[in-house]
Chain A
């Protein structure tokens, strides 16, 4: 299986994603520079990493969506390829229309970097199949514009289609306002598209997947993807 990590100008978690895929999971992983016209069909997984693509100017992810590589990513996603957008990657996916909703300023008006608890809401996606239903993962967040917003209609659709994969919660899984770090609607931390092959999430699983740390809760997301791709089953 072959992974590609997209590098926009201003991406800064690209090295971390690359490190986890290549050095921890020993996967064949390549950089994809945003200006290169690479055909993505040779890849099985495309990761849009965190960071500040184009300086987050205008709005996080707003400029990156026009980058030439995004045309390829959209095509890759539309033909069923697995795409994981983390943090700024999630913001880019939303801006590019691959996922619904928007990511706005945290309700605290501050950047927040800390480990939070996430409840697994849906285990029947390629990104969460190894998780136990309603289990709780400890994964760090690090963002300024991470408050997920969607109109009530869209929210109903997300809930009805079970597109919400992770919600912010307490360490024992209570989903309440108190444990919502950034003001996201319905505590949403990560969602998939209707086809279940594109996921965006604000928390950083790559920050807790290296065994040099005691917390490796993030590994389960990568393990789910790997299992899915190895099984080769269609979505």
Chain B
């Protein structure tokens, strides 16, 4: 019954396929008939939230997506940004949250595989991966299993494909207990005139399938990613695909070799919704149709039905259209790389996809109806009730401190602040010899071979801020990434986002989404950064418990000269330490409040975009003039943690520091508050005058606070010692904590 196409569609089938009756009626009306069972499966995945963006598209239109450097904005496999010298970068961040929660190792691994394919499908050599990982509380019973599985999956897949994983972020919060987030980013390098798109153009051109064989894994993965979890989610494990990084490596090399040929017309990988999605989308972009014969598709197992073949999400598969007559050349190239390949179809002129199983027609659908037919939903929005009680910090719970030593230690032990070397040492972050800035500084920095330029990239989102104010939180995510890029010596050129939220059918979640996208859009317009790619992941919710809104942001920046590359750690004894930017009395949403007072409340720190910009400009000016020895952004844990990180993160020899400051603020706010737009720098004393003068001219607060050197981290406030910690002890705490939580 299930696999038969002759049976009428029942209301149970419609429900099981995640379609509403309204949507089903729309399909029937526009099609002029009832779809068959296989066609229902196609609509189920193509009209799923995951593939159609039906809840989010209306808002996403508000993001700025154009700019002089943009060669390809959203809508293709990935965005493309010009970096000059005839080169461009291709990049995108994407979620693999639902599969990674159900099966962490394979879920995370196939997330890496999918994002890699999005990049090399455009003709680019992938040069780096990054990721943003969010897990539940460290003491939650499944956190260890999930962390180890996810990190192992990324490590195994990324390392094997020979693409370095150069940076990322790892957060822990109980809001992710039931829904972890695995967002993976990839960037590739491409000659700016050699960009390949997923177009099936040229009537009569052959459509070739290549890569791994098709199996029964991952059927309905896209639909799974479009619903909430409940007690039965474990049962969805079979919908998680299994990756083969070795096949992916062969696919990368074969594709890049293939794309040197001038007879390649269009190419696309098979990701979510598998062969169905690539067939319809490639035809859709070119305004053509495709005739496909499923009997020709290389299969892993016998007896697969058309429904299963079309909806399989088996990994490491591609679809390419080549010029007629070039089939043999293409097939022999795939043979060289030991990849399965077969001509499976042909481009046709009518915009209809017809799918055959040998002679029998099993699908006949207009392309536009499938690709663009899902109605954009303007779901209702409503400001959440929870915000009413959280808009201020109750200082009754935040007692003033006489000394800050314990608090600093507690913060360095916080899983959100402690060194992440246990994670990134499991990733090959050096292969391909481009990684100038290894993990563990503000941004990852890669050289661009054959040019003196370098690329900087940073991924960030403080979801606690976003919970307290999605608008400001999203702005801060953008601003912090830009600041990280500035600290590393670069200027932003493009942005990719991964918008992770709860169930959009809940108006309060939709409000969070609307606010976050508006905030992000405003910040991007202000900094003049185009959003060139991205992904939306909704339904991150289990039994009605949604994650904090988590609009993860990646900003890619360009260093005019790779010699400008600057790192966060102190380098020379006797160097002066200074702070660019202003410290205010702010506690809202801070890690201090969370760890020490066990409270999540208040408004996130204020963000003045003009200030943010001028602070970055001053930092960059210092760097480009060669005045700085280190620069580090102040974020979670505030000035004290930034200072400790600058002391401790030197790869060989940590440094001590002594700060003497005068302040009218509360001590705890001064050192642990998270005021935005602040950069901690170190520099040779001989540069002081020039720097102070420049700061004055630019009207940016710049305060010299102390000196590098000694075996301790000392902070004196108003002449009184507030912190005095032994560097080797602090380093031990900071380096060792994560392993004790997750190992």
Contact = CB atoms under 8 A, between A and B. Distances in A.
A44 B155 CA distance: 35
B652 A55 contact: no
A19 B244 CA distance: 28
B426 A16 contact: no
Contacts of B432: 12, 15-16
B245 interface: yes
A10 B246 CA distance: 6
Contacts of B433: 15-16, 19, 206-207, 210
A134 B426 CA distance: 29
Interface stretch (A76-84, A111-119, A193-201): A111-119
Contacts of A113: 159, 424-430
B426 A9 contact: no
Interface string A1-33: 000000001111101100100000000000000
Interface string A142-181: 1010000000000000000000000000010000000000
A52 interface: yes
B2 to A, nearest CB: 35
A98 B175 CA distance: 54
A233 to B, nearest CB: 32
A210 B562 CA distance: 14
Contact of A171 (B338, B429, B652): B652
A9 B337 contact: yes
B447 A12 contact: no
A68 B169 CA distance: 43
A52 B431 contact: no
B451 to A, nearest CB: 12
Nearest to B439: A113
B135 to A, nearest CB: 18
A28 to B, nearest CB: 20
Contacts of B425: 110, 112-114
Given A52-B245, A57-B246, A207-B433, A110 B426 contact: yes
A13 B431 contact: yes
Interface string A33-60: 0010000000000000011101111000
Nearest to A13: B431
B160 A56 contact: yes
B162 interface: yes
Given A52-B160, A114-B425, A212-B436, A16 B431 contact: yes
Interface in B432-481: 432-433, 436, 447
Contacts of A212: 436, 447, 562
B212 interface: no
B130 to A, nearest CB: 15
Contacts of A114: 421, 425
Contact of A55 (B160, B427, B428): B160
Contacts of A51: 162
A183 interface: no
A140 interface: yes
Contacts of A142: 159, 428, 430-431
A9 B249 CA distance: 8
B314 interface: no
A11 B428 CA distance: 14
A52 B336 contact: no
Contacts of A144: 159
Nearest to A53: B246
B651 interface: yes
Nearest to B148: A110
Nearest to A35: B336
B contact residues, range: 20 to 34
Nearest to B247: A55
A219 to B, nearest CB: 13
Contacts of A204: 430
B245 A55 contact: yes
Interface string B35-70: 000000000000000000000000000000000000
Interface string B215-249: 00000000000000000000000000000111101
A232 to B, nearest CB: 30
B250 interface: yes
Contacts of B245: 52, 55
B131 to A, nearest CB: 15
Contacts of B649: none
Interface in B130-176: 152, 155-156, 159-162
B710 to A, nearest CB: 21
Contacts of B562: 212
Contacts of B428: 111, 113, 142
Nearest to B158: A111
Q: Which of B161, B336, B421, B433 is packed against the most chain A CB atoms within 10 Å? A: B433
Contacts of A213: 436
A15 B432 CA distance: 7
B246 A54 contact: yes
Contact of B162 (A12, A54, A56, A111): A12
A140 B432 CA distance: 13
B432 to A, nearest CB: 6
A113 B652 CA distance: 16
B158 to A, nearest CB: 10
A12 B426 contact: no
B643 to A, nearest CB: 25
A9 B431 contact: no
Contacts of A16: 431-433
A212 B432 CA distance: 13
Nearest to B339: A9
Nearest to A138: B652
Interface in B237-286: 244-247, 249-250
B90 to A, nearest CB: 19
A114 B439 CA distance: 11
Given A52-B160, A55-B246, A140 B652 contact: no
B430 A9 contact: no
Contact of A111 (B250, B336, B426, B651): B426
Nearest to B433: A16
A21 to B, nearest CB: 12
A13 B447 CA distance: 17
Contacts of A15: 432-433
A53 to B, nearest CB: 9
Contacts of A9: 246, 249-250, 337-338
B22 to A, nearest CB: 47
Contacts of B424: 113
Nearest to A57: B246
A161 B736 CA distance: 40
B410 to A, nearest CB: 27
Contacts of A10: 160, 246, 249-250
Nearest first, the 9 A-B pairs at minimum CB distance are A12-B162, A55-B246, A52-B160, A142-B428, A16-B433, A113-B428, A111-B426, A111-B155, A114-B425
13 contacts: A9-B246, A12-B249, A15-B433, A52-B159, A55-B247, A56-B160, A57-B246, A111-B159, A113-B425, A113-B427, A113-B430, A142-B431, A207-B431
Interface of A: 9-13, 15-16, 19, 35, 50-52, 54-57, 110-115, 140, 142, 144, 171, 204, 206-207, 210, 212-213
Interface of B: 152, 155-156, 159-162, 244-247, 249-250, 336-338, 421, 424-433, 436, 447, 562, 651-652
Given A10-B160, A110-B426, 13 more contacts: A9-B246, A12-B160, A15-B432, A19-B433, A51-B162, A56-B160, A57-B246, A111-B428, A112-B426, A113-B424, A140-B430, A142-B431, A171-B652
